[in-house]
Structure 1
Amino acid sequence: MRFPVHVRGRSSMELGNGLATGVNVRLDATAIRDSPSVLRIGRHVQISESVHIGAIEKVVIGDHTLIASRVFISDHNCGNYQIPDAASSLDIPPAERPLSSMPVRIGCKVWLGEQVCILPGVTIGDGALVGANSVIAHDIASNSIAAGNPASVIRVFDASTQTWKGI
């Protein structure tokens, strides 16, 4: 690990062997439910500089995943904007709205490019690649490349030819 690394809630984390981090990585894990670990990072994960991962319910990052600089991953928001929710009204300051959360799952051998943002409730399948500056608001299938804001799949891996095919 390259320091400084900012860790809050270490007792709510499982960090795999071979974890490597750049400077100014921020890992925040605060369990709001009865859960022994809300942030689980697999084996041989590489996290570059200035990455922020925030978890209150569940963020899982699979083995051998590569995370570029300035990536943001969170399983929660201040307020719930998916359903009608009086507690998330614009009359209430954002910091006073109740936290809502949905688990985030990032598979094994995933590559997240520079400045990717992963929103609550997202699953990224094994072997997926996410292009720089992408905002991931929906699930990304295994063995695919996604890019954009919001991100969409632009290529998939064809195992029979061992090549990436455009969509």
Structure 2
Amino acid sequence: MMNISPISVCRRLWPGLLQEVWANGIAATPFVPKYLRYLFLRAQGFHIEKSRINAHVRWSGSGTVSIGVGVGINQYCDINHSASVTIGAGVALGRGVMIITATHEIGDNSRRCGPGMLAPVTIEEGAWLGARVVIMPGVTIGRGAVVGAGSVVTRSLAPNRVYAGSPAKAIRDLTGQVRPVSEMIRTQGSPELQRAS
């Protein structure tokens, strides 16, 4: 006789059920302190270091999620991880940032929404994304880059520059203002983690 658990049945019938109930339900409520939410997401299977994640962040997909230490994710961010999402140490995501790893090819005129495709998104150490930034599939945001509010990032961005617009374009060079995030966290502590203490 086969031993079938209710969890295995749920996973087969509704693969995203656990994520909907746990990550988007219980962990996303304001009743879970933002400085402990990373522990709830770790229980979901995300690879996540001590970070500050506000309430009402939405997760969708089944790809890997990796989040470094000292990351701040503001309310109402929407993170699609159909492909992998990697967020480096010290990254700040403004309110309502959208990370997308799934899209479609353009089909013929009988159905323009063609076959689906996935591409990972990487946000390197120390980057800052303003409110309502949209990151499209396959993009890497360089270390220490700043993306202005409302920008749409369709291509990878070089490190230590300020970008804005739709599509996002470089508007300022920050190369002279470089300090390793790991050094900042080690010497001063992350501002996100200082608030957690």
| CA radius of gyration, larger in | 2
Report the counterpart of residue 105 of structure 2 in structure 1.
80
Q: Which residue of 1 aligns with 2:59?
A: 27
- 8 A Cα contact 2:139 2:156, kept in partner: yes
Task: Give the letter aligned to residue 80 of structure 1.
Answer: E
The CA deviation at 1:93 is 8.2
Aligned mates of 1:135, 1:56 — CA distance in 2: 19
Q: Secondary structure at the match of 2:174?
A: strand
What pairs with 1:1-167 in structure 2 (closer than 5 Å)? 3-4=29-30, 10-11=44-45, 13-17=46-50, 19-31=51-63, 38-77=64-103, 79-81=104-106, 88-89=107-108, 91-92=110-111, 94=113, 98-159=115-176, 162=177
Identify which range, 22-31 or 46-55, moves more after superposition. Answer: 22-31
Q: Which ranges of structure 1 fall in alignment gaps of 5 or more residues?
A: 32-37, 82-87
Identity over aligned residues, as a percent?
A: 31
Between the aligned partners of 2:54 and 2:151, the Cα distance in structure 1 is 21
- Alignment: residue pair count: 143
More helix by share: 2
| TM-score relative to the length of structure 2 | 0.65
CA contact (8 A) 2:161 2:175 kept: no
With normalisation by structure 1, the TM-score equals 0.76
Comparing both structures, which one devotes a greater share of its residues to strand?
1
CA distance in structure 1 between the aligned counterparts of 2:48 and 2:90, rounded to whole angstroms: 13
Give the CA RMSD over aligned residues.
2.5
* Closer/same/farther in 2, CA of residues 98 and 30 from structure 1, 3 Å limit: farther
